[in-house]
Structure 1
Amino acid sequence: MTLAPGRGRAAYVVLGVLLVVALPASMFLGARWVPPSDLLDAGSGGRAIIEARLPRTALGLLVGAALALAGGCLQGLTRNPLADSGLLGVNAGASFAMVVSVSVLGVSSLQAYLWFALLGAASAAVAVHAVASFGRDGATPAKLVLAGAALSAGVASWTSAVLLTDRQTFDVMRRWQVGTIGGRDWDVVVTGLPFLAAGALLALAGARTLDTIALGDDLARGLGRHPARDRMAIGLAVVLLAGSATALAGPIAFVGLVVPHAVRALVGGAYVRVLPLSMGYGAALVLLADVVGRIVLPPTEVQVGIMTAVVGVPVFCWFLRRGRMAGL
């Protein structure tokens, strides 16, 4: 598909507008409106609120970008329009590992949470691929989705069982479990940043690889690629992105599924364009969802994981109705 130059420019313009709206909204809007002039008043309560919202804004940008990038990579890696770290069990594996680490091992530091989340995400990814590889034809796109859905359901039930039988762990994890970026400080952002940056660099470096994989393994080998090695590198990127994002903000659904499809509708299917734009649109979506969650039911907040599902389900249904998802 040849991309019209105007469509590519329009996609970046729309992204710029969304970020220009989302960034100040995340800092100034909430249960309490803070006027921008309070930024200049060092002693005002409004400035203290803005400073408290800054790490929340930064975390929203990072988590949204990571989940959308992971979803785009998985859709290219599996050649499956339904592939997403949530649907393929990666987020569920990270969540279960974190809950077990708190309940059984008494883990209490974010640094340890991250390592357990990454281990759980990697284990889930390997398990899904292994299950999908059984039978004829190996790990086909349809079998990967079925295996991922089955594993996600099973692991989610195990996670719920641990939380329901361990009140202390439930108290620790209850807000995190629905997906939230509120109540975080700069330590959370700084701790997760190296893992997210490493995953993003691996994913973006593999954009042309994904374009080659889309042509089929035989042609990829003919072009000098090593499909198995390429898949391992992209898979590692997905584990770093999805596992870290889940550890930092909890399981946030639909970002990785919907955003890459929306981007492809704007700029076509080339991953060298889809992946960078997915990062931006994913970041904007999470920030805007978080802002809406703060103001929709004042004085309480609706967590961002709930709001992304509220937005994601109708958008996903619209894509299905419009036939935007190739292969469905």
Structure 2
Amino acid sequence: MEILKKRINNVEKYLSDISDNQNFFIGIKIEPNKIQKILSEKFNKTDENGLMFIPKPYNGIMAQRNTVGEFLSDKSKPKETAYRAQSWSLKDWGGNIHSGTSEVPYKRYPKIFIDPFGLNFILLNDKQYLVINKQFNKKKSEYDKIKSAINLTLELFNKAETFILDVDTDMLKPVRKSVPWEILPQGVRIWNAFKDVANSNQVSKSAKILIEERFKYLEEFKPDVEYQGTAGYSGYIAFAFSSKNIYVLDSILYGNATYIFGGNWEEISQLTKKQIIDDNLYKYRIIHDKNWKIEIGNILNSI
């Protein structure tokens, strides 16, 4: 799964397309013309062959924790006296400046040193992928380590992706959960055909803003997984709420509608929109209008 965030907290949400106890890698797909720039700016070499790289600590807090570790306060113990350096400067009656540095005492909790993660990156698949040089395993006892690895990668690249090793080719391949069908394929011509929103001149700037607002609002309810139909962004995005056993399907077309289904949504989504509407197969259908946010909020909060 590709992750496009600044950091994550809920690891399990981003491992939904990996089986329990399955091994996987964390990293990014890298463009060949950007490899040298990225390596020189963000990494130091850690082996004489120049094949392994460790993030420079000044990349951010995660890189610092990975490379040099950190000190945390131990609040289970009483405070102790510590000292910090403080520079001072005074002018005497004659106008002469006197300056120096003193050690100033203060109270603080004792510090505990946390060892660095020590994660290195390597280039694999003919330098197509830059990944952390260890396999992770999907089990809850490993979630803290996985979270640290993903957040380190996000800090460096503003994205992260999971990969598995193809046993037939001995090459990495991305882990992506996709659906083998087009979500809510268009039926008759009353539903206007539409191409990729990002490249379309048929959608106004205002409509694109409303599309983005809808998706952001649905994400506030923290769906387990978001699926993209095989039609790409010309189809629907599905927001899965597994614990509630509901699935929200929303179009990238303003002026259409949002559909909410129960657990049989995969079967229903094979039908055309006309079939779904004529047979009332959905639990809820919310038109994209000024009341959309209120209606969606009321439904998702009540289930």
Q: Would you say same fold, with TM above 0.5?
A: no
TM-score by length of 2: 0.26
Which has the larger Rg?
Answer: 2
Where relative contact order (Cα < 8 A, 6+ residues apart) is larger, the structure is 1
In proportion to residue count, which structure has more strand? 2
TM-score by length of 1: 0.24
